[in-house]
Amino acid sequence: MTTTTMTHDEAHHHDAPTGWRRWLFSTNHKDIGTLYLLFALTMMFLGGASAMLIRMELFQPGIQLLDPDLYNNLVTNHALIMIFGAVMPAAAGLANWMIPMMIGAPDMALPRLNNLSFWILPAAATMLLLSFIVPFFPGGGTQINTGWTLYPPLSIQVGMSMDFLIFAIHLLGISSVLASINIIVTLLNMRAPGMNLMKMPMFCWTWLVTAFLLILVVPVLAGGVTMLLFDRHFGTSFFDAAGGGDPVLFQHLFWFFGHPEVYVLLLPSIGVLSHVIPTFSRKPLFGYHSMVGAMLAVATIGMVVWAHHQYTIGMSLGAVTYFMIGTILISIPVGLMIFNFIATMWRGSMTFETPMLFAVAIVLMFTFGGLSGVMLAVVPADMQYHDSMFVVAHFHYVLMPGAVFGLFAGVFFWLPKWTGHMYDERLGKIFFWTNVIGFNITFFPQHFLGLAGMPRRIVDYNVMFTEFNVLSSIGAMIFGLSHLLLLYIVIKTIRGGKKARSRSWEGATGLEWELSSPPPFHSWTVAPQIK
Amino acid sequence: MAADNQGNKKRTTLLLGGLVALMFGFGFAMVPLYDLLCQVTGTQSIAIRAGMGKGPAVTGEIDKSRLITIKFDATVNPNLPWDFGPEIRSMKVHPGEIYAVNFVASNRSNSSVTGQAIPSVAPWQATPYFSKLECFCFTRQTLEGNERTDMPLRFMVSTDLPAEIRSLTLSYSFMRLKPGQEIKNEQQTLPAIATIN
């Protein structure tokens, strides 16, 4: 690998817009990546605030703060904001920042499309917020009390706030599809000479698969919510039994999107992990080819097991058996990934900087979430756990470590590259421990609550569940507030700190570490040669 | 890497755009495909569940040793201005014996309205063993303005009902019919599939 020094770049971009134009008209992958990440950070606090309200309400049995519809609206918002507003944009931000640098390209393939796909997001977020605000006004209709799954017939009966939400989902979908197209075109056409697909960094591979998943499933969700809109306003009966429709069809459409979406959230973080663990173990990634294969297997099987979210709708024995076996099969390639990560750490000279701490936490806690997932995949068991707090505990154990911790690891890992400053390692570690401990106090008791029979998405609960709920709420406050520390660390790192070298971490390998920290305006103006 | 690369990018972009359009269409294609799939695999869609009860023949043999609890449930679709419900909430029956129960329907509106009920049995595994010998759900029902009427049901639970089923729920959803529309619920011993025309 040759190193190209980039000091001649000033003359090249003297006409780059400044001030607010720099951001609004940006076609630069780094600026757009930054915008994505800042947007995600904002949304994370918004989604987090709704989660804190939920946990405050659940601190004691009875109805204290929120009336039931408002509570369910917050549950809906928490899910949609976190998934579409926080995790997906954050992953897209990492992709924007890192992919051109990793594959030796000057920028993304379709820079204007890139600008569009970001700037749709604030509009979508506004629509989403309007859907929450509208019911507070006279004539605004009822609150969205369906949860993020938007199942009819309830979602057909909700007031006009549902229309705002449907358009918000359309916009979010358009944004992520455009971003996905851009990423695939970049990865397929802009790689440095000599970098064939099987030499591509793991993070790029995970995003290639993620982007394909998004292109395959997001349009189906868009179709589903469009039908919902038609049922609400244009007299069609896609989901209305009285007109010959079937509400269960919506569940199929939703989960055809909803299940692969889980891998959309997970895979970019697996990509980050595949860089963080080798760096801090000072060993190359164990089993690169098997990782790629496992990921493709996960994505493929993941596309055809969606109905395990709907075991209780009364499918035939043959159908549930198929979905059960398919779902359990996924644990094989996922297990392979986990073993590869462990094998990478095996006998490595490990050090535990903040990104690595998050990586180790992922390997431990994501595996735990995966195990409770296998429990839920088993049909007779799921009939008991369905719609209980056990499910809530399960998917938070999968999504927090699987997706969010991976993003945290990525942010800490690449912050020195982005800003040119090292973050405060001591604060990073404090953040890690408060975050992880807070998370476990919040969600571990919810397993017991679910097994004891506490249903989810209900504002009130039986007094017998009080103790674990109190514990969970206290954990949620620690967990939620810990993110203020993240905000502080990020701001502090942007403003200054120890200068970061090009290769910010001793064991880091890859093209992105050949560029200066922070990197030049156009990443690789001369494509590097890959041997 | 300028010119030919631009062409490649354009081609990939267009292909991916086509894939997006295709998948959006696939979402809509799921509507007929789903019904088809349900019919082929016997997956329980509402349209099929209504036609599942291809009741067993009445043999006259009565199993006095078993008592099955039958619960009655009634739902009226919001598009129908009726009140509708069973006279009794539940009853205990012997398999093989024929029972009768009345449902009561009344029209809240001042004009004549036509509707039809769609039956379903839970747990669905019990559906083939529950036969309706006479049911208001076989035909469309018209109630004049403010009319109130009894709707009779005569049914029998088969002696072949699996032993683990000790109670089952018979549920009716009443739907409004447009003029000329009829829901073909099952007639006895016919494995008909309900179609909504």
pLDDT in tens, A78-131: 999 999 999 999 999 999 999 999 999 999 999 999 999 999 999 999 999 999
Query: Does residue B28 belong to the interface with chain A, where contact is any CB pair within 8 Å?
Result: yes
Q: Which tokens hold the place of A126?
A: 């506004």
pLDDT of residue A15: 64
Nearest-CA distance A171 → chain B (Å): 14
> What pTM was estimated for this model as a whole?
0.86
Q: Count CB atoms within 10 A of the CB of residue A5.
A: 10
pLDDT in tens, A402-452: 999 999 999 999 999 999 999 999 999 999 999 999 999 999 999 999 999
Packing angle, helices A389-399 and A247-281, rounded to 10: 40
pLDDT of residue A281: 95
As for the ipTM of the complex, it is 0.85
Instruction: Reply yes or no on whether the pLDDT at B195 is more than 60.
Output: no
pLDDT of residue A3: 45
Packing angle, helices A68-80 and A29-57, rounded to 10: 150
Q: What angle do CA A407, A45, A496 make, to 5 degrees?
A: 65
pLDDT of residue A46: 96
The closest of A414, A458, A365 to A99, measured between CA atoms, is A414
Q: Are A420 and A499 spatial neighbours (Cβ–Cβ below 8 Å)?
A: yes
| Rg, C-alpha atoms of chain B | 24
pLDDT in tens, A483-530: 999 999 999 999 988 999 999 998 899 999 999 989 988 888 888 887
Distance (Å, whole) CA A518 – CA A499: 10
Work out the average pLDDT over A316-338: 92
pLDDT in tens, A254-290: 999 999 999 999 999 999 999 999 999 999 999 999 9
Residue A157: closest C-alpha in chain B: B78
Q: How confident is the model at residue A358 (pLDDT cuts 50, 70, 90)?
A: very high
- Average pLDDT, whole number, for chain B? 80
A496: left (phi over 0), alpha (psi -120 to 50) or beta: left
Who contacts A246 (Cβ-Cβ below 8 Å, separation ≥6)? A239, B34, B35, B45, B46, B47
The closest of B80, B163, B168, B85 to B132, measured between CA atoms, is B168
> What is residue A388's DSSP assignment?
B
pLDDT of residue B47: 42
Pairing of strands B68-76, B167-176: parallel
The domains of chain B, with CATH numbers, are 46-176 (2.60.370.10)
Taking contacts as CB-CB distances below 8 angstroms, the residues of chain B near A223 are 24-28, 30
Q: How far apart are the first and last CA of chain B?
A: 60
Residue B21: closest C-alpha in chain A: A219
Nearest-CA distance B127 → chain A (Å): 12
pLDDT of residue B4: 58
Packing angle, helices A68-80 and A111-133, rounded to 10: 170
Cα-Cα-Cα-Cα dihedral of A135, A136, A139, A142, to 10°? 30
List the alpha helices (DSSP H) in A352-388. 354-377, 379-385
Query: Does residue B49 belong to the interface with chain A, where contact is any CB pair within 8 Å?
Result: yes
pLDDT of residue B59: 63
Taking contacts as CB-CB distances below 8 angstroms, the residues of chain B near A180 are 16
pLDDT in tens, A19-76: 888 888 899 999 999 999 999 999 999 999 999 999 999 999 999 999 999 999 999 9
Helix and strand tally (H, E) in chain B?
2, 9
Compute CA A270 distance to the chain's CA centroid, rounded to the nearest angstrom.
11
Cα-Cα-Cα-Cα dihedral of B125, A156, B139, B91, to 10°? 50
Distance (Å, whole) CA A165 – CA A14: 42
